[in-house]
Structure 1
Amino acid sequence: MPDPTPLKRSLSLSVTSLYGIGTIIGAGIYVLVGKVGAAAGLFLPYAFLLAGVIAAFTAFSYAELSSRFPHSAGSAAYIHEAWHRRWLVQLVAVLVATTGIVSAATMANGFVGYLGLFIQIPDYLVITILVSLLTLIALWGINESAVTVTLVTLIEVGGLLFVIYVSRGATAVHEWPQIFDAPKWDAWPGLLVGSFLAFYAYIGFEDMVNLAEEVKNPSKTLPRAILIAISVTTLFYMAVAALAVRTTSLEALAQSEAPLASIVTNAGHSPAFIGIVSMFAVVNGALVQIIMASRLLYGVAKKGMAPWFFTGVSAKTQTPVVSTLLAGAIILLFALWLPLVLLAQITAFIMLVIFSLINVSLIAIKMRGAKMGWGAISFSIWVPAIGFLLCFALIVFQIFA
């Protein structure tokens, strides 16, 4: 079999960071703010802060692993380096690809709801056209795709800035001292429940490592980009959350299917703009997931752990054609046949399992004393240990809650 065409290294720190922000910001902040508020109450900003801290531990693990092993295939590659068990690597690769595919299908379903605010088109037609177009964009080329994601990310961030701007002068339902008061002991159960829900809004940073073979100087760029993305996202989430509880009653926030639109409406503005931005957020997230799933299939096939034809790369665009087309086809199938809630539940549960395995893998690598390459970063072993415990706690919560 001839050597496959290599992927093109063209992504800078700024583009990769914006790409990461785009993978995180999306359905979580646009849809879950109300649900998190229902659990955390006035301490909604603290819920997102705590969720960000929880996510950060796993993000640090990914950052170190990406600097130690800057290879495409991301989580699957890290599991391989830790355990050298082919079956485990294949399992993780399938799990990660499944989350990308299921998540993209979830977003495709979500797009239908947002579009329905403006025009009524049969669901199956909207989903088919959307997934087909996004698959073509992913085939267009990684730099072009990343630029597309970056542009949409700027629109998403602009939407959040718009919400922050218009709501800052709105009539206050709750005052700042109430919102930022230290939580009492009896508030912590609800705050923890809200934090667990808010954690879903941070899923996405792990997708960035699948671009390792297309990033300039990945050992330095990827860790920095991951940390920048999660830090910036946390600041945005806290600002939006604080203004949400300041300007909207907890009851209205919890019941709203479009909480950011409710915030804008309460401020005396039309929700049309934020509705359009929400659709862009869904499109952005779905495109990112298609890119992630296709690059993962390419990466594991390149290592000989998946059929060789997944390594097929277009000589013109230098993108993995077969894996991208397959990912798009499965996403379309899931989006057409599985309900939205089930898709979201599957995504969340699988990601927690993967995060737990990643943290345990880094612990094993550290305890083995594996050599580090030049420019690699290293955190204390307590970082992945705490990350594992937090992720495992979330899994237990999902099972028994």
Structure 2
Amino acid sequence: MAGALKRRIGLGLLTAYGVGVMVGAGIYVLVGAVAADAGGWAPLAFLVAGIVAAPTALSYAEFSTRLPEAGGEAVFVEKGLGVGALGIVVGLAIVAAGIVSAGAVLRGGTGYLTSITGLPFEATVAVMGLALVAVAVIGVLESLALAAIFTAVELFGLGMVVFAGATAEPVVSFSAAPPVVWSGVAAGAVLAFFAFIGFEDIVNMAEEVRDPHRTLPRAILLSLLITSLLYALVSFAAVRAVPMELLAVSEQPLALVWQEARGGSAAFLSVIAVAAALNGVLAQIVMAARVLFGMGKRHGALAVFHRAHPRLGTPVLATLLVGAGVIAGALALPVADLAEVTSAILLAVFVLVNAALIAMKYKNPEAPFRVPMVVPVFGLVAALAAFGVTIGGVV
């Protein structure tokens, strides 16, 4: 049937997808930017960002069992708050966030690649972007299998960075760290939050997951837990091994950790960073296309996107449109600007999703997976506070 997606994904691939899109969403390129704001307290900034993300991840986990549909947040908000127009706005915002996020990651990954190959930047962006769009069109199982390979490669690279930083002689800026400046930590957390983007993408794969009521919440929580541990270790290794004045201005911060800690070339980390970027971009293209597909089912104006290729089982038109936006975004703006815009959009969506879950729990407390009411309440407050900080920084 033209409108049907194929259920081909299990817990392992879905968790790898979540971890891959989060790790690929910025840890390889954002550590330096976070350190510029938070200084030696960059690990604390990542922790704060994780605290902001955690309750909302739990809200998503409950919603994913209540409404396991490809529209994700758009469906959650529309059903929970009973406002169809708001669901459209949220869905389009998620698509925009996916496009901008993938553009940021594609730009960062291309920077790593061109630094070791000397290839022209614009052409490299276009070729890498088109190749990933082609994979996303071919099939979801193929896309997530490739993403799992990328995830394994990038986790190996992060492990090498943690090892290098943990065994290096601590730098002065780490040994004599100044007192915590909370305004700097908050600003760093806004950027660090970008590196947690990805758990919300999992819900948009609902119509391609086997046994979604069990698989979706487990994949969300597992991927957030794994990623939080990784970020804590990696950011600690970075501030321990690299002088802050160097780390804060580096565009390849994790390669710098290896160079400072072990000496010699860090070209292999640049290659791994490219794999991480490709992973993040592919995951966001797949996600945003599924949101358009799900919205097309509910809204006549977007019905053209609710079509899957009869043989490939993928939403081809939606994927091509998203891919074009990603390539354009990567060519247009710096990584930090793209990250801040993405964070602002997603935090606004997180506020609405938590509010929708609060309303739905009042109307119907029963769900296959439930969290206490305090979870979406805290998620709403935390996301609203973080949104205010983000808007202040962007404006």
Smaller-chain TM-score bracket: over 0.9
1:153-208 deviation line (CA, Å, top 9, x unaligned) = 111111101111233322222599878xxx96x54443333333321211111011
Aligned residues: 392
How many Å separate the matches in 2 of 1:250 and 1:323?
A: 43
**C-alpha separation between the residues in 1 aligned to 2:324 and 2:123?**
15
- Local SS of the residue matching 2:299: coil
One-letter amino acid of the structure 1 residue matched with residue 163 of structure 2: Y
**Which residue in 2 is equivalent to 1:272?**
267
Instruction: Give the match for residue 307 of structure 1.
Output: 302
One-letter code of the match for 1:7?
A: L
Q: Which residue of 2 aligns with 1:122?
A: 120
Superposition map of 1:253-264 within 5 A: 253-264=247-258
Cα distance in structure 1, aligned partners of 2:71 and 2:388? 28
Give the Å deviation of 1:99.
0.8
| Alignment partners' CA distance in 2, 1:80 and 1:194 | 32
The Cα of 1:343 is off from its aligned counterpart by 2.9
Indicate the residue corresponding to 1:224 in structure 2.
218
Equivalent residue in structure 1 for 2:350, among 334, 352, 355: 355
Amino acid at match of 2:34: V
Shift of 1:9: 1.0
Distance (Å, rounded) in 2 between the aligned partners of 1:330 and 1:187 = 38
Which runs of no fewer than 5 residues in structure 1 stay unpaired?
A: none
Query: Residue 208 of structure 2 corresponds to which residue in structure 1?
Result: 214
Name the CA distance, whole Å, in 2 between partners of 1:122 and 1:33.
25
Write out per-residue CA displacement over residues 276-295 of structure 1, whole angstroms, 9 at most, x where no aligned residue: 11111111111111101111
Deviation of 1:131 (Å): 1.6
* Residue equivalent to 1:293: 288
The 5-angstrom pairing of residues 29-48 of structure 1 reads 29-48=27-46
Q: Which TM-score applies when normalising by structure 2?
A: 0.93
TM superposition shift of 1:128: 1.9
TM-score (norm 1): 0.92
1:95 corresponding residue in structure 2: 93
RMSD of aligned Cα (Å): 2.1
Q: Which amino acid aligns with 1:197?
A: L
342 and 246 in structure 1: CA distance in 2 versus 1, 3 angstrom threshold: closer
Amino acid at match of 2:372: S
**What are the within-5 Å matches in structure 2 for residues 106-255 of structure 1?**
106-173=104-171, 187-255=181-249
Distance (Å, rounded) in 2 between the aligned partners of 1:384 and 1:104:
27
Residue 324 of structure 2 is aligned to residue 332 of structure 1? no
Q: Deviations over 1:105-146 (max 9, x none)?
A: 222222331122122333332222122111110011101101
Query: Deviation at 1:306?
Result: 4.1
- Distance in 1, Cα, partners of 2:172 & 2:212: 45
Q: Percent identity?
A: 39
Q: Deviations over 1:80-125 (max 9, x none)?
A: 2112322111111110111111222222222331122122333332
Supply the AA of the counterpart residue of 1:195: A
- Residue 374 of structure 2: aligned partner: 382
- Structure 1 residues 27 and 371, CA gap change in structure 2 (3 angstroms): closer
- SS class of match (2:240): helix
